[in-house]
Structure 1
Amino acid sequence: MDKRGSRRKKAARSETARRAAADKPQGRFGSWIKRLAVWGGALALLGALFIGLAVAFAVRSMPSYYQLQATQNAQTIVVRARDGTEIVELGPSFGQWLTHDQIPQVMKDAMISVEDRRYYSHFGIDPYGLTRAVYEGVTGDDRISATSTITQQLARNVFLNNNRSLDRKAREAILALALEWKFSKEQILELYLNKVYFGGGAYGVDSASRKFFSHPATDLSVAEAAIIAGLVKAPSRYSPTADVDAAVGRASVVLRLMKEQGRIPSNVTVDPSAVRLKEEKGQNSVRYFTDWALPQLDMLLPETFEPIEVWTTLDVGMQRAATASIQGNTPGGAQGALVSLDRDGAILALVGGTDYVETSFNRATDALRQPGSSWKLFVYLAALEAGYTPGDRVVDTPVTIDGWSPRNSSGRNVGEIDLRTAFAYSINTVAAQLGNEVGFGTVASMARRFGVTTPINTYPSMVLGSNEVRLLDMTRAFAAISAEGQSVEPYGIVKVTTAEGELLYQHQNARRSQLVPDYVAAGITDLLQTAVNTGTGRAAQIGRPVAGKTGTTSSNKDGYFVGFSSGITTGVWMGRDDNARVAGLQGGTAPARAFAAYMRYAVKDRPIEEFDTDLQLPEWQLEPDDEYMLGDPDDYYFIDEQGNLIEPGREDGERRDPFGDAFPQPGDSDRPRQPQVPQQPGRGADGAPQAVGDDFLDEATGGASQGTPRPSPSPTVTVTRPQ
């Protein structure tokens, strides 16, 4: 009895200890781990079942191998000019279908090495490769590795689009598993190498070999195979017809990977730079336009693979004239670009460089360069909107703003001038003072208002064009001035139809808004016209009214001219891609001459249009009617706003032209000459400016009748603009 009681007590103590242990946090944590493991296993099993069913369904609905072989999903695009003439046909070239045995082994090895090194060991998805790609992306390793297997790429190319969505990636993975289930590795690789896109309209290795090397793919060498395999990652970037150095560099990466993976002997030397490329003929600057316009189809059209015709705004004659003007006027070693817009924003001509075959980089739409003094458009727009007028008096004098002291291109200051002259001769110190007065943030906002899309800093030097912009944006801004201050939206595609004529897209003009009041647009047009007539843009004259502005950056790295005439606005940029100095390059030289050469052709069939520069100022900017209130000013003396006594018969604001014959005449240097300083009323004994003119003093004191000589007036100038 005692023994049985003892055993019961021990059992009770053991049960109590077990329950206490279960109540401890560690016990609860272990319990949760078990539950998570059970639920995780169940979910994994359910997910595997779902994936299995999805793959099985995909296999059942997937076309046969011969159906896939016969199906080509690439699209042919015919691009037409504004008059309907065909300017280029872009589309697929498939070459000859090569069976797995006909494809050179070196081509298969090169493709597997760079795109999918574990192709023969995975089941359509490469978990190890995906994990490694993520790791290399996090650690910054610059080794080349693919994130999609060859099977996934084939599934995407044949069945899907290139949208980077989670849903598309999931379907791609399911289809890749289905392909691996239904077809052999040899069949998948054959389909891939005959369907993958290699750039330039070439689909499949045979088409690529014929396009780049002028022979069938059955004759590919190791170096040629490496070049072709390297194209898959980025066909346009590594195309040997667009950038030989980039293609050779990418091929060298492919060859290194082939050696590392044992697909070619490590002691074999292969030089891809020695490969002879097919000479490209017939390419021209139209491709700069199509490279910019055609990617917009992805946003304008629903997904379609049927042949289409794209009707554009491009004028064939103007495009030829633009190309000739850039090639004929761009300094040696430099590049040039031109954009020309009609009054509604239609792009009439677009040239992104001097030679598309040499380099396809589009400097008209993609390059970010400093516009120099052409940026002063926004400075003076802000000043005019703040109340200035072209005739207002300003002073060209040394100025320092927040430690920054701008200098004029002539190295001198001319004193008192009007706003029109300061703009025409691109006086830097005046632009700096205006920007400081209206606010550099206001200038930046004005640029944004007129369509500048690049980042804008508000340091004082920004008034001289230190911000980088796109030529297309600057041309758009000037086009808005040509449209009397209304917004302009550049566009290049008018409509898209099927080959049978069914309309798929029709351009609708964007709703226009008034960016600045009419009087501001008229005022800036006045300034821009003066800059071409008598200022730094004289080389842009074409025998009819032209308004525009030059721009030159420090050390002559960039030359700009943007202007308009007869409803056509054209912007020209010149410079070097490496941003090095170009001897003698100024906005008023080569760019202005290229503008004139093009515009003479562009406007030849258009009527001559005079600019509206008549300032209809708002009431808040008008002076009161003194004659109505106080009588005729010629009958009495009166005091002006600066406290000066004005004698009878002298008109308010009357002055002698301070420059006289100092204005440069057409054909003179692009830089303004040093003007003569205007003579002003003298100073009194205390050094203060005289309140009245010498004639009045002579009459009032009898000095003139007594023959008393008057002292020579001082050259000191004052601002006479009303405050």
Structure 2
Amino acid sequence: MTRRAATPPIRAPRKHRPAPAQVAAARAAPRPPPRRSAWRWLRWMVLLGTWGALAMAAVLLVLVWDLPRTDLALSQTRRAGVTLEAANGTVIATSGDVHGEIVRLRDLPAHLPAALLAIEDRRFRQHFGIDPIGIARAAWVNWSTGQIAQGGSTLTQQLAKNLFLTPERSFRRKAQEAVMALWLEWKFSKDQLLEIYLNRVYLGAGAFGVDAAARLYFGIPATRLNLWQSAVLAGLPKAPSRLNPRTAPEAAAGRAAEVLGAMVETGALTQRQATLAAENIRIPPRPSRDSGWFADWALDDLGARFPGNADLVLRTSLDLRIQAVVEQRLEALLAGPGARAGVGQGAVVVMQAESGLIRAMAGGRDYRQSQFNRATQARRQPGSAFKPFVFLTALEAGLSPADMVADGPINLGGWRPGNGAWRSQGEITLEEALAHSVNTAAVRVLARGGGARAAMATAQRFGLPGPFPGDATLALGTGEVTLLDLVAAFAPFANGGLLPEPRGLVSARADGQPVPAGRPTLLRVTTPEHAGEMRRMLEAVVARGTGRAAQPPGGRAVAGKTGTTQDFRDAWFIGFIAAPPGAGGGTLVAGVWLGNDDATPMADVRGGTLPARLFRDIIESLAQAPAQDPSRDAAQTLGAAR
């Protein structure tokens, strides 16, 4: 048997052992994270994103929770306001928020929006409502100067604040402003945003929008602005009150020069154009400060005359040239001879006799010091200025100016009126008695005309409500009147017997549409014959009686009456004269009162002295500086004027 050789046992192959360098490299290589760690990171990212989004949504909700409704804010184009214009269209007063016409960007001169963008937001066409570059630049300037020298708000942000928000300074309000700016940029085009801004921006003195400001400061619509005027308006949003052209003309002109310089930097102007425009800056003088008395009177009871909530533009009868003459002459008298005679205050009213339109009104010495209107609110004794109504009562009872009346002493129950320096002549005509203001004769004329009751009825028929005493002292003017009422009561003597209602409004527009402003009211209070007789008697007062100081040079016919109260507490002159050339034709009735608010006696100031002289000075000045045509203003509507 053959013996087989033994088979060696089978062994597993020996594993290859890596080299030491390979082991070190393998250990150094990063190991892939476990699958569980990857899921953990993904979960945290989802959670953080979710909570972050919720937090942002909560912040956004907090910011927009109390924001006003955008549809209401955009639909409200204006808040009710009143603009009062003089007879020539110059704005003399505003009440409430004043808005002009809604203007379109295409209708405005190109230099107006160019000026605004140059000084307020040069990157307006590039940014999306918020300007990071502008914010960074402003932050750097403010940090480097150590003060708030620049702001980073865009024009869209300013519009958002003006439309929807309050001027409150807080981080929350700024954040809301940014949100609304983004919404505005999404909702409107750049041109639309610029147009809305120009119609809504506040430009001082109650004016909202460039058209209202153009009319207020320059007396023209925004479509007619020249270059320097546009620069003035474009500079106002920074500080409307501090740069107001009316109250701070030098500051407004300086700011306009800055705007013109900014336009050069942006390429909107050449340096020569900017220099010429800056040299032509002429801020119009502000309207008379003392026209405030007229404005207050004209705006009285406005709600009853124009019910509703419309914006009103009211054209008035005030003639700024006559007003300026009245103010200048009144102040000159009070500062000179008036001061030496102890006269502290005065009032003047100028009225057109045929229509009752008030052409000028000064209710005191300085409206800024006292808004009390001594022409319409002060009730004082008229003295002998009341005598024309006593004598008219006698004429209506059958007497004539040529009838005789005794001028000697009289005693009524112990009351003995004096005649001053008048020397009794026994009997004089009614005309002479009125011309020389003889008191004893006036008392007798009162009795022959029917007594105090009859004279009182005549005065009330002429628009003088009183109160009046029911005794013979009425002949000497011991009742109470206002200067405005007394001026209106003299108008029938000048116009043939028709009593006009004093008026200040000529025409009106409500939200741009013409509305009735009332028609002249004329009431016949005496016959033309009796009015003519009284006119001739009042002419005698100036020609040869107590009112001689009122006669202007040239021999023009003047009629009027003086008045002085006991102890020289009040001095009056009421007169009328054909309007000087250029003053509108017809007849002007002018009344003057001088005195003191506390009724302190003056030093021998009688109606025939300083008041008559002031009347003459006003008439002389008007003849030298013709006023505008009041008849044209009364005939045309405000729409035609514009």
CA distance in 2, matches of 1:555, 1:346: 34
Matched residue of 1:474: which SS? helix
- Cα distance in 2 for residues equivalent to 1:360 and 1:315: 20
Q: Which residue of 1 aligns with 2:577?
A: 565
SS at match of 1:406: coil
Determine the structure 1 residue equivalent to 2:520. Answer: 509
Task: Out of 542-551 and 72-81, give the one that drifted further.
Answer: 72-81
Q: 1:485 aligns with which of 465, 489, 497?
A: 497
Report deviation, 1:97: 3.4
Contact 2:422 2:438 in 1 (8 A): no
Cα distance in 2 between the residues matched to 1:201 and 1:583 = 45
8 Å CA contact 2:330–2:614 kept in 1: the answer is yes
Give the deviation of 1:98 after TM superposition: 4.5
Matched residue type, 1:444: M
In 2, Cα distance between equivalents of 1:74 and 1:497: 15
Contact 1:73 1:305 in 2 (8 A): no
Name the counterpart of 1:580.
600
Residue number in structure 2 paired with 1:357: 368
Partner of 1:377: 388
Shift of 1:356: 0.5
Preserved contact between residue 78 and residue 309 of structure 1 (Cα < 8 Å) = yes
Partner of residue 430, structure 1:
441
Q: What's the counterpart of residue 652 of structure 1?
A: none
Q: 2 CA distance for matches of 1:513 and 1:295?
A: 23
Output one character per residue of 1:592-641: Cα deviation in whole Å (capped at 9) or x when no partner.
111111123446659xxxxxxxxxxxxxxxxxxxxxxxxxxxxxxxxxxx
Shift of residue 489, structure 1, vs aligned partner: 1.2
- SS where residue 304 of structure 1 aligns? coil
What is the distance in 1 between the residues matched to 2:82 and 2:459?
37
Q: How far is 1:385 from its partner?
A: 1.0
AA matched with 1:293: A
Change (3 A) 1:411 1:525: closer
After TM superposition, give the deviation of residue 85 of structure 1 in Å.
2.9
Q: Which residue of 1 aligns with 2:321?
A: 317
Q: Give 5+ residue unaligned stretches, structure 1.
A: 1-62, 103-199, 204-215, 217-280, 607-723
CA spacing shift, 1:411–1:565, aligned 2, 3 Å? closer
Find the partner of 1:537 among 547, 554, 557: 547
Shift of 1:72: 9.7
Select the residue among 498, 501, 521 that pairs with 2:531.
521
1:487 is paired with a residue of what secondary structure?
A: strand
Amino acid in the other structure paired with 2:575: G
Report the CA distance shift for 1:513/1:79 in structure 2 as closer, same or farther (over 3 A): closer
* Equivalent residue number for residue 596 of structure 1: 616
**For the Cα contact (< 8 Å) 1:565–1:603, is it kept in 2?**
no
Q: Which has the higher contact order (CA 8 A, sep 6+)?
A: 2
Aligned partners of 2:415, 2:349: CA distance in 1, in Å? Answer: 34
Deviations 1:175-208 (A, max 9, x none): xxxxxxxxxxxxxxxxxxxxxxxxx9699xxxxx
User: Are the equivalent residues in 2 in contact too, given 1:404–1:460 (CA < 8 A)?
Assistant: no
Question: Which SS does the other structure have where 2:89 is aligned?
Answer: coil
Distance across 2 between alignment mates of 1:66 and 1:532: 69
Q: How does 1:83-102 map to 2 (within 5 A)?
A: 83-92=88-97, 97-99=166-168
Equivalent residues of 1:548, 1:561 under 8 A apart: yes
- Number of the residue aligned with 1:344: 355
Aligned to 1:398: 409
Measure, in 2, the Cα distance between the counterparts of 1:74 and 1:403: 65
Distance in structure 1 (CA, Å) of the matches to 2:590 and 2:400: 26
Q: Which string of whole-angstrom CA distances, capped at 9 and with x for unpartnered residues, describes residues 14-48 of structure 1?
A: xxxxxxxxxxxxxxxxxxxxxxxxxxxxxxxxxxx
Distance 1:477 1:282, change over 3 A: closer
Q: Is the CA contact 2:500–2:520 (under 8 Å) kept in the aligned structure 1?
A: no
Instruction: For 2:466 and 2:167, locate their aligned partners in 1 and report how far apart those are by CA, in whole Å.
Output: 48
Following the alignment from structure 2 to structure 1, what is the Cα–Cα distance between the partners of residues 69 and 319? 43
For residue 66 of structure 1, the aligned residue among 61, 65, 68 is: 68
CA distance in 1, matches of 2:435, 2:90: 42
Alpha-carbon distance between aligned partners in 2 of 1:386 and 1:432, rounded to the nearest angstrom: 15
Match status 1:300 vs 2:293: no
Question: Any conservation in 2 of the 1:393–1:416 contact (CA below 8 Å)?
Answer: yes
Once the two structures are superposed, the pairs formed by residues 661-676 of structure 1 within 5 Å of their partners are none
Deviation of 1:329 after TM superposition, in Å, equals: 1.7
Q: Partner letter of residue 499 of structure 2? A: S
1:251 corresponds in structure 2 to none
Letter in 1 for 2:465: T
Match of 1:409 among 406, 412, 420: 420
Q: 1:98 to 1:425 in 2, by over 3 A?
A: same
Q: 1:89 to 1:418 in 2, by over 3 A?
A: same
- Tell whether the 8 Å contact from 1:288 to 1:352 is kept in structure 2 after alignment: yes
2:84 is paired with a residue whose SS is strand
Partner of 1:77: 82
Paired position in structure 2 for 1:257:
none
1:498/1:397 CA distance change after superposition, 3 Å: same
Note if 1:464 corresponds to 2:476. yes
Map 1:32-51 → 2, pairs under 5 A: none
Larger Rg: 2
> Over residues 224-247 of structure 1, what are the superposed CA-to-partner deviations in whole Å (9 max), with x where a residue is unaligned?
xxxxxxxxxxxxxxxxxxxxxxxx
State the aligned residue count. 370
Q: Distance in 2 between the 1:521 and 1:282 partners?
A: 38
**What's the CA shift for 1:443?**
0.5
Task: Map Cα deviations across residues 68-97 of structure 1 (whole Å, 9 max, x no partner).
Answer: 996797533222122223333443499993
- SS of 1:582 mapped into structure 2: coil
Question: How far did residue 457 of structure 1 move?
Answer: 2.1
Residue in 2 aligned with 1:473? 485
Report how far residue 421 of structure 1 moved: 1.2
Say yes or no: does 1:556 pair with 2:625.
no
Q: Distance in 1 between matches of 2:601 and 2:368?
A: 24
Query: Who is 2:115 aligned against?
Result: none
The aligned amino acid for 1:565 is I
Deviations 1:134-172 (A, max 9, x none): xxxxxxxxxxxxxxxxxxxxxxxxxxxxxxxxxxxxxxx
Provide closer, same or farther for how the CA distance between residues 67 and 558 of structure 1 changes in structure 2, counting only shifts above 3 A.
Answer: farther
| Cα shift at 1:344 | 1.1
Distance of 1:517 and 1:560 partners within structure 2: 26
Q: Cα distance, 1:334 vs. partner?
A: 1.3
RMSD of Structure 2 on Structure 1 (CA): 3.1
Residues 374-393 of structure 1: per-residue CA shift (max 9 Å, x gap): 00011111111112211111
Contact kept? 2:384, 2:563, Cα under 8 Å: yes
Question: 8 Å contact 2:386–2:477 — kept in the other structure?
Answer: yes
* Percent of residue pairs identical: 35
Residue matched to 1:442: 454
Deviation at 1:100, TM superposition (A): 9.7
Change in CA separation of 1:406 and 1:283 when aligned onto 2, cut-off 3 Å: same
- CA spacing shift, 1:505–1:474, aligned 2, 3 Å: same
- Matches of 1:516 and 1:483 in 2, distance apart? 11
2:397 counterpart letter in structure 1: A
Contact 2:406/2:444, CA 8 A, preserved across alignment:
no
Whether the 8 Å contact between 2:405 and 2:444 is mirrored in structure 1 is no
* Residue 328 of structure 2 is aligned to residue 328 of structure 1: no
